[in-house]
Amino acid sequence: MNEIFPEELPEGWLIICIDDSIVCSKTWKQHIYRLSRVLTKIQSVNMKISLKKFHFGFKEIKELGHVVSGLSLGIDKNKASEVLLKPMPQNKKKIQSFLGFSGYYRQHIKDFSSIARPLYKLCDKDTLFEMTFDRVKAFESLRQALATAPFLLIPDFKLPFKIYIDASGDGLGAALYQVQIINDKPVEGPIFFISRQIKSTEARYGASKMECLFLVWALEKLNYFPERFVFELITDCTAFK
């Protein structure tokens, strides 16, 4: 595909995932122009496409378990309901399957690692399978988080960001937010959530050191963002004040 679309792919508006392609545009005129470019290239290499699988001019599409629009990224509720309606897992294999599914959407879930921690511990090789109160609570909390997961805003790199960070005894969490104008009103919404469990050596850190540790880790997670992007750090840690 890189050989067929050497100019289109670097421009960022053509996204190809295995055998699926998405053409993104801001206006209808621009969309027609870009579609023309893509279809002309496809025709030039005698590639065949199925018109039955094509969707033209949609404001949002469902792709890879997500609902994607020009403004936001959400969970495909139809895909999620297939898992959420299933009964509580009765063995480790089904717990692992549930964690794999919910982990795929972890960027939509605040404090995912802390919530899921009892279930991950249950999957340890030497741990006896037993759905204790904490594990049932973790399962129900994750299921509720998936059912109510927010849409994530598409980042606008011309605007500043807000990074909220928090460290607790169970894990580290951060959230990237941005204020965007939607329907002529300023709206603050999440871009994504990140989290991880605390390592045994880190559990002995004081609150200030823990917050500093996670700020560095959170910024490393943003290393694919453009250089010099502007952000405001929001935390209750006195070490940063």
What is the arithmetic mean of pLDDT over 74-91? 89
**pLDDT top residue among 55 and 238:** 55
Question: How would you classify the pairing of strands 231-234 and 161-167?
Answer: parallel
pLDDT at position 212: 82
**pLDDT top residue among 2 and 29:** 29
What is the arithmetic mean of pLDDT over 146-167? 89
pLDDT per residue over 85-125, tens digit each? 889 999 999 999 999 999 999 999 999 999 999 999 999 98
All structural domains of the chain, each given as residue ranges with its CATH number in brackets, are: 8-57 (no CATH), 76-147 (3.30.70.270), 155-240 (3.10.20.370)
Distance CA 169, CA 197 (A): 9
pLDDT per residue over 181-219, tens digit each? 988 999 999 999 999 888 888 888 877 787 788 788 888
In the structure, what pLDDT confidence band is assigned to residue 58 with cuts at 50, 70 and 90?
confident
With the CA atoms of 135, 136, 142 and 143 taken in that order, what torsion angle do they form, in degrees rounded to the nearest 10? 150
In the structure, what pLDDT confidence band is assigned to residue 226 with cuts at 50, 70 and 90?
low
What is the arithmetic mean of pLDDT over 63-82? 88
The size of the chain, in residues, is 241
Strands (E), 24-93: 60-63, 66-69, 72-75
Q: What SS3 state is found at 22? A: strand
Q: What SS3 state is found at 102? A: helix
pLDDT at position 15: 82
pLDDT per residue over 117-152, tens digit each? 999 999 998 999 999 999 999 999 999 999 999 999
pLDDT at position 202: 84
Q: What is the pTM of this model?
A: 0.80
pLDDT at position 225: 73
pLDDT per residue over 169-178, tens digit each? 677 888 999 9
Asked if residue 163 has pLDDT above 70, the reply is: yes
